[in-house]
């Protein structure tokens, strides 16, 4: 039985995630919203990035998701076949 023709395609998946830092500050009761926003900007510029932690709830598809047809000299990791309803089935290729 003849095999269907195939080609290699490299796909790249990327997601944008967020890190965040939160602190509770005691401020003068009469600070205006404008002053509070200025305080936010000041703290953003002065808090060490090492204090930030991952926000597991935020996940956004990056614009760098895409594909490269016929990438040079690469070994495929998986095989794709079409299934009914316009979906795809992806199966890992076993090492020889």
Split into its structural domains, the chain has a count of 1
Residue found under tokens 């000299």: 73
Q: Answer yes or no: is 33 within a domain.
A: yes
Whole-number pLDDT of residue 93: 85
CB atoms within 10 A of CB 39: 13
pLDDT of 12 strictly over 60: yes
Q: What is the CA radius of gyration of the chain?
A: 24
Q: Answer yes or no: is 82 within a domain.
A: yes
Report which of 11, 43, 16, 79 is spatially closest to residue 89, judged by C-alpha positions: 79
Q: Answer yes or no: is 48 within a domain.
A: yes
Q: Answer yes or no: is 2 within a domain.
A: no
Mean pLDDT, the chain, integer: 89
- Name the residue range of residue 88's domain: 9-92
Pairwise CA distance, residues 64 & 67, whole Å: 9
pLDDT of 3 strictly over 70: no
Model pTM above 0.85: no
Per-residue pLDDT tens digits for 46-82: 999 999 999 989 999 999 999 888 888 788 888 898 8
Please give the sequence-ordered ranges of beta strands (E in DSSP) within the chain, or none if there are none.
Answer: 9-12, 15-20, 53-61, 66-69, 78-83, 87-92
Q: Answer yes or no: is 1 within a domain.
A: no
């Amino acid at each position: 039985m003849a095999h269907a023709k195939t080609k290699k395609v490299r796909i790249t998946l990327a997601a944008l995630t967020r890190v965040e830092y939160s602190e509770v500050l005691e401020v003068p009761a009469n600070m205006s919203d404008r002053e509070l926003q200025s305080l936010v900007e000041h703290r953003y510029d002065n808090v060490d990035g090492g204090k930030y932690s991952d926000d597991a709830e935020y996940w956004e598809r990056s614009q760098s998701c895409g594909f490269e047809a016929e990438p040079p000299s690469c070994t495929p990791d998986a095989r794709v076949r079409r299934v009914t309803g316009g979906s795809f089935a992806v199966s890992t290729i076993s090492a020889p």
